[in-house]
Every structure is written in C-alpha cells, then in structure tokens.
C-alpha cells in the first residue's frame, strides 16, 4: 500500500505523532476551476440537528486532538455528512477557500461555492454514495489577484463500525509547483523542438560520460585531449544534420565523433585543443557526404558547463555554405575574367562617378588619350572633352541616366592636344550611387575610310565582274545592276541586256518539283540574312537551257542598317552531280570485301524476277564463329576472315555468277542456269578450299545451304528463304562440333606457345579436381573444376610467348605482371561454345582477389564464385611449385608461406587453410610428373 506519512507538531514545534493517509484507488473526474471571489457565504448560520456518532462531535470541537492533528498537516482535509453539510475541516482547507473555519462548518456546497461548482461537487457525492468508489479530481483555484493554485483531491465515503455511510472524507494537496514545473518543462521542450529539431541549421549535442574540470585558458596535453574526445558520445542530432550528410539517426546516436564517416579523426583531434582551451571555436571545413559530393561546412563548436563549472558536453551548430563558397568563387572568377577582358580589350574603357571623376580606366584608353592611369584618376571626364562638345555631352548624360544606356559618336582630346573620333557605349550601374561604365572605340580610321567609299564601290564592281562563279548585284528595288561573264553564260543575258530589268525576268529558279521560286531579292532584304539554296535547284534561262545551281542572295548593308541591294551568287553544279551519280554506283559494293552488297542483291532480285535464266540456284554461306573470333582476337582478324571467305567464293564461281555479302557474316551466291547438281559441285569446291585455309592459325568453318528456282511461278524471295533455312539446318548439325573443335585447336596452339604450359594446365586441372573432392563436392562439380583447370588460361592464346612467360612471374603487384585481358578473352571464347559455356564464369573471375583488388570487375569475398576462388589458389600454387627451365620453383614450405601471406587479400583464407592442411601437407596433391 502506498500513501502519505506526515509528522505532527504542536505549537512549540514538538513532534507528538504521525498521520498516515493511505493512497486509495479513485475515479478521476474532469478538472474544474473555482474562483475565491465566486464563493457564496451565508451570513445566517442555519442550525441543523447533529448526526449521531462521535466523529462529527469531535470535529466540531476546535480544541479536539483530531482537529489539532488535522491542523498540523499541510494537506487539505474536510468532512461532510451524508446530507452534504461540512462537519469539519482543517485550517489548510479553510485557507484554500479564503475563509475562516467557522465560515465553513455547518455549510453546504451551495453556500460556499458558485452554483456550477456546487452542482459538480453534489454530483460527485451522489456517485460516491451510489457505488462507494472514491473520486479523484484536479481543480485550480483563482484568487482575487488572478493567481492560480492547483489542487488534487481524493474524496471517499466514510463508514461507521456497522458499515453505514456517515458522510464524505476529502483529502487534498496543493501541487501548484509541480504543475508549473510541468508547464515550464513542456515549454522548454517546445522551444528545444523549435530551436533544435526544427532548425534549418545542422545541430548535434555530445555528452561526456563524466563531467570534468578544465583549466580555463590553458592548453591541454595530447593525451588529455584524446581522453576527453574518446569519452564524448552523441546524444541528440536534428534532421538538418542528417540531411546535410545523407545519414540516418542511428549513424550518429551513441557514436564518438571520431567514428563519423564524413570527417577524419585526425582533423577532430587537431581542432579539439583550441576548443577545449577557449570554450568556443568556429571552423570552415571541406567534407564529403555519403553520396560522395564535396560540401563546405561552417561549424560553431561550444563547450557546455554545468553549475559547478564542469565540462559535461559540446554543442555543435553547422551550416552548409557550399553554395556561398561556390558563388563567392564564381564571383571572384567572373571578376577576374571581366577584369582580364577589360585589361586586354583593344577598346578603351573607363568608369566615372556622377560628378564625372575617373574611378577606373584600362590601358587601352590610356594609350588612346596619351595620359597615364594615375593622371586620369585625378581628372574628370570634362577635362578630356573638347570645349565645343561639353554642353552636348552634359545633355547626353541626362539622356543616359533616364535610358540606362546609349551608343553614340563623340570626340576626345589627347594629352598632346590632338583630337580623336570615338564610338562610345555608356551604361549606368550601381544604384543608388550611380556611376557610368564606358567603352570607347577609336573610329578615326573608319571616318577616314568612309571618304574612300566611291573607290570601294568601284572595287566591289570589279570583284563581281572577275569572280569565278556567276555573280549579279541588284539595287534595293530588285533590278539588276551588274552581271559578270559567268552569269551571262548561265542566264543567256549580257550585261547591257540585263541591266535595269527585274531579277525574276533575267532568270527563273525552280525546285526539284518544278515549282518556281520567286522574290529572292525581297526575301534577302526583308530578313537581312543571306538566302542559301542547295544544288537541288535549277536555273532556267530565257533560251530554255537548264543548269543545276547552288544559289545565295546576300543583302548589301548601308549606313544605319539600311540595305543598298543584294548580291546573287550562282555556282553551276551540273557536272558535279554527274560525278556524284558515278559515285552512287559505288554504293552497290561492300567496302570491306569488294563484293556486291545487300542493296545490289535486292536490285538483282527485282531484275531476276522478270528476266530469270532458269534454273536459278541461290546459295547462302555463313561464317561460323565470326563473333567468337571478333570477341577473342579483335575485329581486325574477323575482317581478315571475311575477306578470305569472299576470295574463296569468287575463286570457285563463274563469270556470270553473282557473289554478295548480304550481312555481317553471311554471303549470298546467285547461280543462273544452275541446277542442284551444279550447285552442289560449287559447294564442294568451297568446302575443299576452306578445309585447307587458315587465318592466323584459325581454321575457317562455313555453314552452307542452297535452293533452286525451276519455274517463273515461284517466288525468288521464297527460294532465298529456303536456302537460308537449309544453311541454318547445316549450322545446327555441324556448328556445335565445329566450335568445340575450334576450342581444342586453340588449346593446342596455346600449349605449343610456351614451355611447360601444357603441364601447368594439367596440374591445375588435377589440383582443382582434388580440391573439389576435399570439399565434398559431387562428382559432376569436381569434373567441372577439372575442365575449368584445363581451360582457365585459354585466353592467353592472344599473347606472345614472351608475354606468356611474364604472366607467370609471381609479384605482390599481381595486376601489373598479369596479362589482364586474357580472362575476358577466355570468357568470350567459352561462352560461345555450348559444351564449355558453363565454365566461362569460373574462368572470368579466377584472377579476382578476396579483398576486391583483383580483375576484371573487382569482386570481393564470397561475391567471387567458389570455382574461381579454387582456381585462383591451385593456379597460384602450381606457378610457384611447377618446374620451368626459365625460372626456379619454390619448395612446399616456401609455397605455403607465400599462400598464407596472401590470405584475406588475394585468396579466400578459409579455402587456403583447407588446401594446405588437407592437400599440400597430407601429400594429397596429384602430380603429372608422378
């Protein structure tokens, strides 16, 4: 049982007893407020008959021991009889109501409370009387000054010795302090949520396991700093911090700052001494988030001390300043870039304030004016203006301020007193302290050149007349002004005949559909851009002659964007088109083999459909293993193979036969006037030559099928489809066996390239088979390991004998001394052959390393197939211990030492131990030599 024990003291502060109020189970009603100012006090005391029983008589005696006990405790206590009349209370209860005790005794709730509160208390009494269950309520009392006091009250039924209901006992307690503390705590948590959790700044709080005393302003030793840092644990982190680094809450909470992935522990330990000495520090750091993106973070770090001055934690407030850093960098780069432009431009530049004082100037303007930079910065713009131009300049300045910018011509005075004309571009910038940015171009020479305009016009005319292409010029009205000799031949008009006539009358231009193109001159003048027409257009002159031409019409610009006319250029492309047609004939040839291509084959089929020389046999020839050759040995060798087959097909066919390369590895031979017997003879001649032909030691293998068209009622396309199907059946029947034999021939070629390679492959095969047995693999899997051991180096067929020897040298830098490409070549070779395709993956990954540093894909651990991990160990062991004339081999102990030194890096440590313990040390290792 739980409850309240309260010591009792008399007026002399002597303890004379203990009162215990056991806690009882109660129904909690809703909160209710009552105000002291609302209490209704009856001035007339109604004398009601006393109820039987000694309790109420004792309570009505203010000097009774019971009342002394009740007054000695701080809790509120009151008694009401069964009719709701207050029969007793202590001073604490009366004080709560702001009354004297005798103003409470003998009253009912309606006489001391408002109607609303009295009704609530009456209803509670009825409930308690009905079910005998105590009721617990929380109320607050508001005194006359508006101050609230919170009260928690338990009211229960009082019974006499015969279990008869005598009245109600109420016990209350003032829990205002607790309530206010709860409110303050809630408010603190709200502000913490606003400041910490809802902040856009990244924040975290680290706490020491035990607060410590730090000497203020003193540097700590390295050991002390490391000890403090190691005891820090992250307790709180906000969402902004998680988003900044792309991490989750569990990546922070409970972690030491040195464990965070985005910052090195060395950096923390370098910065911590200053923070612990000064109590606060700010750093700008370049870090990386989990996405690998570089971010700039400005962080403020603050030491937190308790009331005793002990350090108990560190508060971190960070802000992502990546954007600001980059913008600042870009701004500086742009400023440097603009400065470089200003300093290197040939145009003069200056900036003046609103009073026209020079505030900046470049070298080009100094050169134009003859003044130095220092001299100009002490002058005003009016100092370099001619006196007769100053008034106009001031008016121009007001216009510039209103418009924001302007472009005009002006004049300046050099230091030596001479003038120069300039084109001036001015803009205002920098409100409210406006200043003028001005670029100046010296146009003195241009002004002089304008005086030579008439000479230039004559030169322009001479240029047109002497041009190699046809050229004509018109005025802005579109009438011809000049026609050169080439244009005279094309149009059929002489200069005198054409002059003054509209251009559309002198020549007609039509497109490929024969539609006339009109208004060439007006289009060029309206758009201000050159009109260009390709050689699909024809010029038709007044004699009816037609020429294919390339035409351009360019507007001639005058002053202030005016147009003086159009220059029309005509290039005769008729002969070029004839040459291109000859080139088009070449498009029927295959560029690699020189045979006819698929385009020609389609044309040939169309022709034969109407001019067939029956019987016609169509033969389809397919090069077996072209893809395997390309993947393993490169496209150059594949191209050589195709050229060889093309040459064989040409050698065995007649003059009237058609040989085409119809696709990548397919050839089609059309045999006019040839039946099946003749076609079979051609096929046998092809096979006979192929069987004697090798391309770089690779045998040539073909799949051939043919079909014969005997009647014009037959479709040539269907005959071709039958021939293709026949070829495919031949490929299915013999292709698989040919691929298998190709692998065997490649292995023979490889084993003859290097001394001891055959023995190496056979030993690796035996070791791998035995390894599978030790690992309790089934017989089928052991046989696969044996085959993989034989073929694991087949990709080395591409290497020279010298490269083969280098690939066996044992080195820590395994990649640097291995021919890394051979595993991919071996994979490509094996996956193309059905009998060996299941071994391809084991061969591909047998040079992957357990730590992920191998090749070709950087797999690590158990990502590497177990077959590849086994081959890696057996291959390495055989290279170390195998006998070669060109190098010394290692003994068993040395080989074991090498294997173990590479456990966990190059090799699977568990498999290495199994290999050593169960095969090498138990002499369970077969050897071909034995």
Given 422, 449, 476, the domain boundary residue is 449
Give the total number of structural domains in the chain: 6
In terms of domains, do 574 and 513 share one?
yes
CB 311 within 8 A of CB 208: yes
Distance CA 312, CA 209 (A): 8
Q: Where is 527: in which H helix or E strand? A: helix 520-527
In terms of domains, do 646 and 668 share one?
yes
Buried b (16+ CB within 10 A) or exposed e, 267-279: ebbebbbebbbeb
Buried b (16+ CB within 10 A) or exposed e, 635-665: eebbebbbebbbebbeebbeeebbbbbbeeb
Average pLDDT for residues 109-122, to the nearest whole number?
88
Q: What is the pLDDT of residue 779?
A: 93
Distance CA 11, CA 787 (A): 107
Q: What percent of the chain clears pLDDT 70, i.e. is strictly above it?
A: 85
Q: What is the pLDDT of residue 341?
A: 76
pTM, to two decimals:
0.38
Given 325, 356, 371, the domain boundary residue is 325
In terms of domains, do 415 and 462 share one?
no
Q: What is the pLDDT of residue 906?
A: 95
SS3 of residue 539 by DSSP:
strand
Q: What is the pLDDT of residue 865?
A: 95
Q: What is the pLDDT of residue 42?
A: 38
Q: What is the pLDDT of residue 686?
A: 94
Distance CA 103, CA 353 (A): 89
Distance CA 770, CA 267 (A): 53
Grade residue 253 by pLDDT with cuts at 50, 70 and 90.
Answer: very high
Distance CA 131, CA 135 (A): 11
Strand partners for 619: 669, 706
Q: Does residue 576 register a pLDDT over 80?
A: no
CB 832 within 8 A of CB 631: yes
In whole numbers, what is the pLDDT of the chain averaged over residues? 82
Query: Cα 215 to chain center, whole Å?
Result: 48
In terms of domains, do 808 and 793 share one?
yes
Interval 671-720: pLDDT, tens = 998 999 999 999 999 999 988 888 876 778 899 999 999 888 888 889 99
In terms of domains, do 906 and 788 share one?
yes
Q: 290 or 781: whose pLDDT is higher? A: 781
User: Is 746 within a domain?
Assistant: no
Q: Does residue 3 register a pLDDT over 70?
A: no
Beta-carbon count within 10 A of 385 CB:
19
Q: Does residue 120 register a pLDDT over 80?
A: yes
- Cβ-Cβ contacts under 8 Å for 903 (sequence gap 6 or more): 850, 909, 912, 913
Separation of first and last alpha carbons in the chain? 90
CATH number at residue 898: 1.10.3210.10
Q: Does residue 894 register a pLDDT over 80?
A: yes
CB 727 within 8 A of CB 704: yes
- Cβ-Cβ contacts under 8 Å for 342 (sequence gap 6 or more): 349, 362
In terms of domains, do 397 and 462 share one?
no
- Cβ-Cβ contacts under 8 Å for 557 (sequence gap 6 or more): 563, 564
User: Whole domain around residue 38: which residue ranges?
Assistant: 3-180
Q: Does residue 166 register a pLDDT over 70?
A: yes
Note if the bond before 526 is cis, omega within 30 degrees: no
Q: What is the pLDDT of residue 719?
A: 92
In terms of domains, do 883 and 790 share one?
yes
User: Is 330 within a domain?
Assistant: no
In terms of domains, do 373 and 428 share one?
yes
In terms of domains, do 63 and 209 share one?
no
In terms of domains, do 313 and 367 share one?
no
Q: What is the pLDDT of residue 707?
A: 95
Name the one residue in this structure whose structure tokens are 């954007």: 323
In terms of domains, do 762 and 906 share one?
yes
Closest among 879, 906, 884 to 894, alpha carbons compared: 879
Q: 264 or 871: whose pLDDT is higher? A: 871
SS3 of residue 379 by DSSP:
coil
| Total residues found in the chain within this entry | 930
Strand partners for 5: 20
Q: What is the pLDDT of residue 807?
A: 62
Distance CA 868, CA 140 (A): 80
Q: 620 or 147: whose pLDDT is higher? A: 620
Interval 803-841: pLDDT, tens = 776 665 544 344 444 467 888 888 888 888 888 889 989
In terms of domains, do 833 and 869 share one?
yes
Q: What is the pLDDT of residue 722?
A: 94
User: Is 192 within a domain?
Assistant: no
Grade residue 667 by pLDDT with cuts at 50, 70 and 90.
Answer: very high
Q: What is the pLDDT of residue 4?
A: 47
Distance CA 679, CA 686 (A): 11
Give rounded-to-5 percent helix, strand, coil for the chain.
45, 25, 30
CATH number at residue 554: 3.30.450.20
CB 836 within 8 A of CB 791: yes
Q: Does residue 457 register a pLDDT over 60?
A: no
Interval 373-403: pLDDT, tens = 999 999 998 898 898 888 888 888 888 888 8
User: Is 354 within a domain?
Assistant: yes
CB 786 within 8 A of CB 833: no
List the beta strands (DSSP E) in 600-677: 616-623, 658-661, 666-671
Average pLDDT for residues 274-290, to the nearest whole number?
87
Structure tokens at 311: 């350090």
Name the one residue in this structure whose structure tokens are 């870009």: 330
User: Is 58 within a domain?
Assistant: yes
User: Is 748 within a domain?
Assistant: no
User: Is 656 within a domain?
Assistant: yes
Pairing relationship of beta strands 311-320 and 202-212 according to DSSP bridges: antiparallel
Q: What is the pLDDT of residue 682?
A: 94
Interval 24-71: pLDDT, tens = 444 444 444 444 444 343 334 333 333 444 666 677 677 777 777 777
SS (H, E, C) 800-819: CHHHHHHCCCCCCCHHHHCC
Highest mean pLDDT among 172-176, 629-633, 645-649: 645-649
User: Is 352 within a domain?
Assistant: yes
């Amino acid at each position: 049982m739980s409850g309240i024990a309260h010591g009792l003291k008399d007026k002399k502060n002597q303890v004379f007893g203990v009162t215990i109020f056991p806690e009882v189970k109660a129904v909690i009603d809703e909160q209710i407020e009552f105000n002291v100012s609302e209490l209704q006090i009856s001035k007339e005391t109604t004398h009601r008959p006393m109820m039987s029983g000694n309790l109420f008589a004792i309570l009505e005696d203010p000097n009774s021991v019971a009342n002394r006990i009740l007054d000695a405790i701080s809790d509120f206590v009151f008694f009401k009889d069964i009719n709701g009349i207050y029969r007793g209370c202590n001073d604490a209860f009366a004080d709560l109501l702001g009354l004297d005790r005798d103003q409470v005794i003998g009253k009912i709730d309606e006489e001391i409370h408002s109607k609303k509160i009295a009704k609530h208390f009456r209803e509670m009494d009825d409930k308690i009387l009905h079910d005998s269950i105590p009721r617990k309520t929380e109320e607050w009392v508001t005194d006359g000054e508006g101050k609230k006091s919170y009260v928690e009250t338990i009211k229960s039924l009082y019974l006499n010795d015969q279990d008869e209901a005598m009245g109600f006992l109420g016990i209350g307690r003032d829990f205002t302090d607790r309530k206010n503390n709860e409110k303050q705590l809630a408010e603190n948590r709200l502000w913490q949520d606003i400041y910490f959790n809802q902040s856009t700044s990244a924040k975290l709080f680290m706490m020491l396991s035990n607060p410590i005393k730090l000497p203020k302003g003193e540097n700590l030793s390295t050991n002390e700093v490391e000890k403090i840092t190691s005891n820090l644990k992250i307790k709180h982190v906000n969402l902004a911090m998680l988003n900044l680094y792309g991490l989750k809450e569990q990546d922070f909470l409970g972690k030491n700052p040195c464990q965070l992935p985005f910052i090195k522990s060395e950096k923390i330990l370098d910065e911590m001494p200053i923070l612990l000495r000064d109590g606060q520090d700010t750093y700008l750091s370049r870090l990386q988030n989990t996405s690998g993106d570089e971010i700039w973070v400005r962080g403020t770090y603050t030491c937190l001390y308790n009331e005793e001055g002990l350090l108990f934690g560190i508060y971190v407030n960070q802000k992502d300043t990546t954007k600001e850093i980059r913008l600042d960098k870009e701004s500086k780069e742009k400023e440097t870039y603009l400065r470089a432009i200003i300093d290197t431009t040939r145009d003069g530049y200056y900036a003046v304030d609103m009073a026209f004082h020079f505030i900046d100037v470049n070298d080009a303007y100094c050169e134009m004016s003859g003044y130095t930079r220092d001299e100009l910065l002490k002058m005003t713009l009016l100092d370099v203006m001619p006196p007769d131009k100053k008034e106009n300049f001031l008016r121009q300045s007001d216009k510039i301020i209103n418009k924001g910018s302007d472009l005009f011509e002006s004049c300046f005075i050099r230091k030596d007193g001479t003038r120069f004309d300039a084109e001036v571009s001015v803009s205002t910038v920098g409100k409210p302290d406006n200043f003028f940015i001005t670029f100046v171009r010296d146009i003195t020479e241009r002004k002089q050149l304008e005086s030579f305009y008439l000479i230039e016009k004559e030169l322009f005319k001479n240029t047109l007349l002497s041009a190699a292409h046809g050229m004509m010029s018109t005025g802005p009205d579109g009438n011809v002004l000049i026609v050169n000799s080439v244009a005279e031949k094309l149009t059929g008009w002489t200069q005198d005949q054409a002059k003054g006539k509209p251009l559309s009358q002198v020549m007609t231009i039509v497109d490929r559909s024969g539609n006339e193109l009109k208004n060439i001159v007006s289009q060029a003048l309206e758009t201000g851009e050159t009109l260009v027409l390709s050689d699909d257009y024809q010029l038709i002159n007044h004699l009816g002659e037609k020429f294919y031409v390339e035409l351009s019409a360019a507007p001639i610009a005058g002053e202030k964007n005016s147009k003086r006319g159009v220059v029309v250029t005509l290039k005769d492309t008729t002969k070029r088109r004839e040459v291109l047609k000859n080139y088009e004939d070449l498009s029927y040839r295959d560029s690699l083999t020189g045979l006819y291509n698929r385009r020609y084959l389609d044309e040939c089929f169309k022709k034969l459909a109407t001019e067939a020389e029956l019987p016609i046999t169509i033969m389809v020839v397919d090069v077996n293993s072209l893809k395997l050759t390309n993947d393993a040995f490169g496209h150059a060798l594949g191209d050589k193979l195709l050229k060889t087959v093309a040459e064989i097909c040409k050698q065995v066919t007649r003059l009237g036969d058609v040989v085409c390369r119809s696709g990548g590895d397919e050839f089609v031979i059309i045999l006019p006037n040839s039946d099946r017997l003749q076609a079979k003879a051609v096929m046998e001649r092809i096979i006979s030559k192929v069987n004697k032909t090798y391309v770089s030691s690779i045998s040539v293998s073909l799949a051939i099928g043919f079909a014969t068209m005997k009647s014009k009622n037959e479709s040539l396309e269907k005959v071709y489809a039958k021939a293709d199907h026949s070829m495919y059946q031949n490929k299915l029947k013999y292709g698989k066996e040919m691929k298998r034999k190709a692998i065997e021939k490649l292995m023979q070629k490889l084993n003859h390239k290097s001394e001891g390679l055959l023995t190496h492959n056979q030993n690796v095969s035996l070791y791998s088979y035995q390894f599978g047995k030790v690992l309790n693999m089934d017989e089928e899997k052991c046989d696969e390991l044996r085959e993989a051991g034989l073929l694991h180096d087949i990709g080395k067929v591409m290497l020279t004998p010298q490269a083969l020897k280098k690939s066996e040298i044992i080195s820590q830098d395994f990649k640097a001394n291995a021919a890394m490409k051979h595993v991919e070549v071996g994979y490509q070779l094996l996956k193309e052959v059905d009998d060996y395709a299941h071994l391809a993956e084991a061969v591909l990954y047998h040079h992957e390393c357990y730590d992920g540093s191998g090749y070709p894909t950087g797999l690590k651990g158990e990502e590497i197939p177990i077959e590849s991990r086994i081959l890696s160990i057996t291959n390495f062991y055989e290279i170390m211990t195998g006998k070669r004339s060109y190098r010394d081999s290692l003994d068993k102990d040395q080989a074991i030492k090498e294997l173990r030194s590479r456990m966990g890096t190059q090799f699977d440590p568990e498999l290495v131990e199994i290999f050593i313990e169960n095969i090498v040390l138990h002499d369970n290792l077969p050897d071909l030599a034995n």
